[in-house]
Amino acid sequence: MTSSKKSARRRRRWRPPQTRLKVRHPDELLAIIPYLVGFHPAESVVAVFVRSGGIVLTARVDLPPEVATDELAERIAALAEQQKAQALALVAYSQASLPANRMLTRLMDRLSSHELTDVLYVGHGRWWSLSCAEECCPLTGTPYDLSSHPVSAAAVVAGLNARADRRELEATVSGPPETELPRLDALAATLFTELGPFDNRTAAARLMISIVDDGMADPGALDERNCLLLGLLVTDFHIRDLAWSRISHAEAEDHVQLWGRVVARVPPLLAAAPLCLLGMAAWVSGAGALLNCCCERLSRVNPAYSMGGLLATISEQAIPPSFWHQIRDEMQAELGAQAALQTG
């Protein structure tokens, strides 16, 4: 199958229509947050940044100790400036109401120069607003049920997903079961000898592109053998960067699925490059929580891996996916120059 035919098959794959989800009330905000962060938060603080009536960034952190509230406020203010946010919403999820409410009150004070559309404490299946008049919220809080909320249903129809908790999301990048590692290591060693005919980068690049295109067109084609082959091929930085440069906004979610399957099947020795490619695809697709999970596992399996530093910077500075165009153009130009030198 030619590359153009594969691309055509990918374009014909059904995608949910683009949907603009409207959030006007606190319960609607609570219904959409799990789909914005990728999982249902617990013992967390979530900041939602709004510009021109739309959400431009959603940031979640573990609920900090009260002594760190001022530091958190400074971080939120810096992100608001970076994103040119015109309004903010703050939500604290915790089973302990008193420290969470004290923290929210302090955040409101430190962020008083910003428009705060909602400041909510959520716990025990109820929410309380700290930003509305006293008469608008019952003392016992307002119960809510996300499982039947229309906004949750609309988010699912729009193609958004929310895992039960962060631990479940972390499990998606944890790699194969430990009991499988000896067999996978042996199979990878066998496949490494089969890559002998692809010892030049041009041939290796063509093989990588072929496997990726087949996997994008038909996820069933990305079996264990092909996942391990991709893991081996992208140990070469040039091949890895070529795979990286093929990520686009239009197909970022497909790349998330592809590299997620590779990460799930390669042993730790081969995990660094696929984790970075999965993290980059997650960033471009707007899945910041998945990006963070990739960074965390990479820090364990290969903390010195250079591309991990770039991933960490993107995460820590909340660099928006719109910057990908500039990075991709620069990378493609560099790859083109390298190819010219090799053939010149």
pLDDT in tens, 230-243: 999 999 999 999 99
Domain boundary among 158, 191, 215: 158
What's the structural domain count of the chain?
Answer: 2
Same domain, 123 and 205: no
Same domain, 220 and 143: no
Kindly state whether residue 103 falls inside one of the protein's structural domains: yes
Same domain, 189 and 318: yes
Query: In the predicted model, is pLDDT for residue 4 greater than 70?
Result: no
Structure confidence at residue 337 as a pLDDT band (50, 70, 90): low
Q: Which residues of 233-257 are buried (b: 16+ CB within 10 A; e: fewer)?
A: bbeeebbbbbbbbbbeeebbbbbbe
CA atoms within 13 A on the CB side of 127: 22
Cα separation values, 110 from 73, 90, 103, 130, 283, Å: 6, 13, 11, 14, 30
Mean of the per-residue pLDDT values of the chain: 88
Kindly state whether residue 279 falls inside one of the protein's structural domains: yes
Rounded to whole angstroms, the Cα distance separating 302 from 140 reads 49
Kindly state whether residue 2 falls inside one of the protein's structural domains: no
Nearest of 172, 160, 161 to residue 294 by alpha carbon: 172
The pLDDT of residue 207 = 94
Query: In the predicted model, is pLDDT for residue 83 greater than 80?
Result: yes
Rounded to whole angstroms, the Cα distance separating 30 from 23 reads 9
pLDDT in tens, 173-221: 999 999 999 999 999 999 999 888 777 888 999 999 999 999 999 988 9
Same domain, 33 and 143: yes
pLDDT: is 331 or 43 the higher one? 43
Q: Which domain holds residue 226?
A: 170-343
Domain boundary among 121, 136, 158: 158
Same domain, 128 and 208: no
Same domain, 111 and 241: no
Provide DSSP, 287-332. Answer: -HHHHHHHHHHHHHH-TT-HHHHHHHHHHHTT--GGGHHHHHHHHH
The pLDDT of residue 334 = 74
Cβ-based neighbours of 289, under 8 Å, separated by 6 or more:
37, 38, 39, 60, 166, 169
Interval 272-287 mean pLDDT: 95
Kindly state whether residue 59 falls inside one of the protein's structural domains: yes
The pLDDT of residue 7 = 45
Q: What is the number of helices (H) and of strands (E) in the chain? A: 15, 6
The pLDDT of residue 200 = 84
CA 25 to chain CA centroid, Å, is: 26
Same domain, 35 and 149: yes
Kindly state whether residue 240 falls inside one of the protein's structural domains: yes
Kindly state whether residue 120 falls inside one of the protein's structural domains: yes
Same domain, 187 and 264: yes
Same domain, 278 and 204: yes
Kindly state whether residue 119 falls inside one of the protein's structural domains: yes
Same domain, 197 and 330: yes
Domain boundary among 158, 184, 203: 158
Same domain, 226 and 149: no
Kindly state whether residue 206 falls inside one of the protein's structural domains: yes
Q: H-helix or E-strand containing 183?
A: helix 181-194
Interval 261-268 mean pLDDT: 97
CATH number, domain containing residue 97 = 3.40.140.10
Structure confidence at residue 94 as a pLDDT band (50, 70, 90): very high
Tokens of 291: 């990006």
Same domain, 54 and 133: yes
The pLDDT of residue 166 = 94
